[in-house]
Amino acid sequence: MVAEGQSCPNLCLCGKRKTSTRPNENRYNTAMGKTTRIISIGTVKIGGGLPVVLQSMAAAKTADINAVAETCSRLADAGAGLVRVAADTAADAAALKEIRKKTTANLSADLQENYRLAETVAPFVDKIRYNPGHLHHAEPEIPWQTKVERIVNIARQYDCALRIGVNCGSLENADRNGSGIDSALNSAFQHAGFMDSLGFDRFCVSIKSSDPQAVLYANRRFASMRPDVPLHLGLTEAGLPPAGIRKSRLALEPLLAEGIGDTLRVSLTVPNQRKAEEIEAGQQILQNAAAGIVLTEKDWQPDKLNIISCPSCSRVENDRFVQLAEQVQSATEPLKEVPLTIAVMGCRVNGPGETDHADIGLWCGVNAVNLKRGSVLVGSFRYEEVVEKMLDEIAETVLPAARSKHVP
């Protein structure tokens, strides 16, 4: 048994990429007795009490075929049963065709704003993830049900599994005024029910937030209402390690200990060459849950400084994003006991929603960073100057208000 606070030994459990005849990568089964159905994703299966499958995501630009293929293979060697790759454009879809030739990793295409790419990418991937909150972008006049039915038909044709990937940072427009996590839950139930109506059951669901307590609540609720549907667990943005690993432990270990969760990702803010750290952290979490070493809600302290930063992926507008997140963490170290939430976001997928709900938001563009106070845009600043501007904004407006809320 590993003591609290220690890293588990032998985190990487496989030295070589497993072939299609080998079982799931992860040996730590924390889901005994689960009733979720089993679905196949390439060479792995999830659900039904099988070992939990670990996932990660390539952070190199999808068009950089060699870099993405190398990342996918490296992550598979580290223990990833599935690697996600962003697909936003026709060029990305064309790149996936070539990436498929260069790696044996199980691949998941991540669709956000362009559901129409499903048909182009499906022949070269094992799973397609779509986000209900972004279906409205392409062909907004077409009902979402029609779009999802098209995705399902394509999945059937090309032997793909699907993930309904709901994020609190990118909910449907109609849900933006809702309670966040309840709106996310409603979306998940609605889309899972629609899959049922189509007679398609080769899907899993994820309901993600950057708040560990929200993740716990949503996944417990969904699992109780839809015990048949496999769940992919994770925080939308865990942030920089080691804090991001601890936050992930708080969200995932209690669920795994309760038998909830069939696959997971620890979404850390790290550069592409360090993406295997997500797999190492996931293996540690699975080992902890199996050994009964579980961080619980009582260990979560939401009234202290909370830095949310998204995991690096190919959608990041500027490679300096990770460095910026590290600079924000360092610059705010003196404020660690202050009730303050800062969101550092790398692209438009969850950037608007996450920064709207933070005290201070930094939403990165190609050449500048949008500095926000809640939903209000303070201004756009160069990467070299935005941290100083952020500290000024905190000192002048956010910090006095935050402190006044907690005056006894």
More confident residue, 63 or 296: 63
DSSP for 77-116, written as a single string: HHT-SEEEEE--SHHHHHHHHHHHHH--S-EEEEESS-GG
CB 398 within 8 A of CB 332: no
Average pLDDT over residues 153-165: 98
| The pLDDT value given to residue 405 | 60
CB 108 within 8 A of CB 100: no
Average pLDDT over residues 52-80: 96
More confident residue, 323 or 137: 323
More confident residue, 7 or 145: 145
Query: What tokens were used for 133?
Result: 């909150």
CB 164 within 8 A of CB 155: no
Distance of alpha carbon 150 from alpha carbon 155, whole angstroms: 9
In percent, the amount of the chain with pLDDT more than 90 equals: 66
Most confident of 3-7, 24-28, 324-328: 324-328
| The pLDDT value given to residue 14 | 30
Predicted confidence band of residue 407 (pLDDT cuts 50, 70, 90): low
Q: What is the pTM of this model?
A: 0.87
Distance of alpha carbon 179 from alpha carbon 183, whole angstroms: 6
pLDDT tens digits, 390-402: 999 999 987 777 6
Task: Give the C-alpha distances (Å, rounded to integers) separating 277 from 231, 269, 383.
Answer: 22, 10, 26
Please name the amino acid found at residue 118.
A
Please name the amino acid found at residue 374.
G
Distance of alpha carbon 112 from alpha carbon 170, whole angstroms: 10
Predicted confidence band of residue 32 (pLDDT cuts 50, 70, 90): very low
Query: What tokens were used for 386?
Result: 């935005």
Average pLDDT over residues 350-362: 79
| The pLDDT value given to residue 298 | 79
Q: What is the rounded average pLDDT for all residues in the chain? A: 86
Provide the 3-class DSSP secondary structure of residue 335. Answer: helix
Please name the amino acid found at residue 174.
A
Distance of alpha carbon 371 from alpha carbon 361, whole angstroms: 6
Average pLDDT over residues 37-60: 95
Q: Write out the residue limits of the CATH 3.20.20.20 domain(s) in the chain.
A: 39-299
* Domain 306-405 CATH class label: alpha beta
pLDDT of residue 322 exceeding 50: yes
Q: Write out the residue limits of the CATH 3.30.413.10 domain(s) in the chain.
A: 306-405
More confident residue, 194 or 366: 194
CATH hierarchy code of domain 39-299: 3.20.20.20
Predicted confidence band of residue 346 (pLDDT cuts 50, 70, 90): confident
pLDDT tens digits, 92-132: 999 999 999 999 999 999 997 889 999 999 999 999 999 99
For the CA atoms of 383, 384, 387, 390, what is the dihedral angle to 10 degrees? -70
pLDDT tens digits, 14-25: 322 333 333 455
| The pLDDT value given to residue 383 | 94
Nearest Cα to Cα of residue 360 among 384, 404, 328, 337: 328
